[in-house]
Amino acid sequence: MFNRINLRYFILVLYLLGYYCWILLYPNSPYQSIGSSICSIIGLLIALYFLILTLLKTINKERTFWSIITLGTFFYLAAEILWMISDTMFGKEVIFISWSDVFYLLQIICILSALFYKIMHQTKMIMHLSFMFDFLIILIIATTFSWYLLISPVLASSAATPLAFIISLAYPIGDLGMLIAAVFLMMHRSSRTHTSSMIVIILAVCIQAIADSAYLYLISIDNISSGSVVDPLFILSIILLSFAGRTKTSKFVIKHSSIQLEKLNIFQVLIPYSGILFLFTFMVFHSNSFDIISAGCGISICLVLIRQIVIVLENQKLVDKYIHQANALEVSEERYKSLFEYHPHPVCSMDLEGNFESVNEACSQLFNLSSDELVGQNSLAFIEKKSKTIMLQELEFVFKGSPRSYEVKILNSEGGIICMNLTNIPIIVQNEIVGIFAIGKDVTEEKTIEQQVKYLAYHDQLTGLSNRSAFENHLTSLIEGTFKQSDFKLALFFIDLNDFKHVNDTLGHDIGDLLLQAVGGRLKSIEKQFEMIARQGGDEFTLLLKNVLTQEQLKQRAELILSVLKAPYYINGQTILCPPSIGISSSLTDATTAMEIMKQADIAMYQAKKNRLGAYVLYSDLHLTSKQK
């Protein structure tokens, strides 16, 4: 791209050199007029080629702008062709007001229309009062010089026809419009609209306006001829316009920063005031007298301008400071937004009533509701009933300025329950709590796993009954409680299956496991009759009974266990008899620890095993027999 741009401008320089060489080599010659017209037409065809390429690659508003520029170039080409036909083919001297001038004016109108279109659609600067004054200053200065140098001589011409008078005024007015539009675009050229294309467009418009004004001035002093030195400038401006479309296509859709202030460049600061100074200097040199009043006015104007420039520069420092702070604030807001929006966990902000003010995408997905549906709703409506009390208690600490983390259960829009680890952080603005941030983490899966681990830690995997660890912990807690309640007694039933080893050895361990599961199932059928039922390991089971009052009560429960477990088992086509041996110990005796009561029940169980058909033995009976002996 860099080489292509250089090649285009290199060809443009060669073209201008050739054009001026032709004008200088054949002064006041018919060849000069013919060569000038041919050079102009060639230059216009080059411009049209690049403009058509630009049109093919642009869309929307850009195409409209370049279409108007292309139409104006066609008008200029028509004007040049008419000029060449009249001047060279028919040998007629082209007068100032002719059909060519109509097409020249149409080209100026197209340029003005395109610039106005660009200003309306590309610049979005707020029209401050100071900017309006700067614009008016430039307008008055440009109008003054145009009137003095161009319009006034036209008005002074009494021989001009009404049409000639109108066309003569249209040229300087059009030039004035182009200059003002170029200045407007230059003063609005900021970091958002600063492109190579814009610079070339402004340069091209200024060249055409200056060339046109010079051409009219030469006409006003009757010093114009075909093949004038200003003719190449017109073609130069049109070619530059065509290059602008290929240099860097202007962007009409601009990404605006949230910070709308733009820094003034030195051009924007100096051009209004330098224009006033130039106008005053021009007035002094063209006035008939220069006295002390004029000198005083000049010095005062200079001082006022210097003071104004100093004020502008000081204000610019304040703007720079504001922009710096605004940029820092914008960066901070963007960081907060990134943390909030892209946080993997649900995040929301609430007012002091608990109503949602903002939610991120993860929060919307959690509740299966859009952010618009959530904002404004009260967060307590999504909290499970038992968890509301917990949340309200925790919020009391948050309202005092303390962050809190706790677990609650929430309800989504489909009625599903989700366990959440919720962190509430107070939003403090100017030492006042104005709201609450909530960051949640879905711990449903972790809770499920935790419950599973806890279940496996205290339950037997094969039978689903409590395991030895759970049984011993519960037994210990109950025995410790009996010392605080003298009338509270408990009993332990220790079960061992007779002939279980024979089943394992003859039928296999898989049948043995199925037998243990069947035993566990039968014990579960009577679990309401006992405090706890557990498998100790192997074929040993233990049962706890609370509130034991009499020995007869123990015997009744022992008979219940025997009736349930003595019945045959039918497993995989096998009939299995595995009657239980039950040892019973209770705190009615002198047992004071879990180990003692377990040991006593174990001793009684081994006594019961002497009866292979299934029986139970109370340790108290053994204890009594031992004492009698």
pLDDT tens digits, residue range 580-619? 999 999 876 666 788 888 999 999 999 999 888 899 999 8
Q: Is the pLDDT of residue 565 over 60?
A: yes
Q: Residue 417: what residue type?
A: I
Contact between 200 and 240 under an 8 Å Cβ cutoff? The reply is yes
Question: Who contacts 441 (Cβ-Cβ below 8 Å, separation ≥6)?
Answer: 345, 346, 420, 421
- Mean per-residue pLDDT, 456-470: 91
What percent of the chain is helix, strand and coil (3-state, nearest 5)?
A: 65, 15, 25
Contact between 569 and 601 under an 8 Å Cβ cutoff? The reply is no
Q: How far is CA 398 from CA 403, 427, 617, in A?
A: 6, 10, 62
Cα separation, 567 vs 349, in Å, equals: 65
Q: Supply 201's token pair.
A: 């467009």
**For 57-98, where are the alpha helices, taking DSSP H only?**
60-84
- Mean per-residue pLDDT, 472-486: 74
SS3 614: coil
pLDDT of 342 reads: 79
- Mean per-residue pLDDT, 25-37: 71
Contact between 493 and 585 under an 8 Å Cβ cutoff? The reply is no
Q: Is the pLDDT of residue 556 over 90?
A: yes
Q: Between 32 and 398, whose confidence is greater? A: 398
**For 385-542, where are the alpha helices, taking DSSP H only?**
385-398, 444-458, 468-482, 500-507, 509-524
Of 135-149, 369-383, 557-571, 575-589, the range with the lowest mean pLDDT is 135-149
Question: Who contacts 293 (Cβ-Cβ below 8 Å, separation ≥6)?
Answer: none
Contact between 521 and 529 under an 8 Å Cβ cutoff? The reply is no
Cα separation, 269 vs 275, in Å, equals: 11
Longest CA span, the chain:
161
Contact between 420 and 443 under an 8 Å Cβ cutoff? The reply is yes
Cα separation, 333 vs 339, in Å, equals: 10
* C-alpha closest to that of 364 among 380, 352, 382: 382
Q: Is the pLDDT of residue 227 over 70?
A: no
Cα separation, 57 vs 246, in Å, equals: 10
Element (H, E) at 43: helix 30-56
Strands 569-571 and 540-546: unpaired
Q: How far is CA 33 from CA 86, 343, 445, in A?
A: 11, 75, 92
Q: Supply 240's token pair.
A: 């530059």
Q: Between 93 and 142, whose confidence is greater? A: 142
DSSP state of 572: T
Q: Is the pLDDT of residue 507 over 80?
A: yes
pLDDT tens column, 318-360: 878 888 888 888 777 777 777 788 788 899 899 988 899 989 8
Q: Is the pLDDT of residue 106 over 80?
A: yes
Of 171-180, 252-261, 355-364, 403-412, the range with the lowest mean pLDDT is 252-261
196-227 exposure pattern, b = at least 16 Cβ within 10 A, e = fewer: ebbbbbbbbbbbbbbbbbbbbbebbeeeeebb
Q: Between 147 and 403, whose confidence is greater? A: 403
Label residue 90 by pLDDT band (50, 70, 90): low
Average pLDDT value for the chain = 78
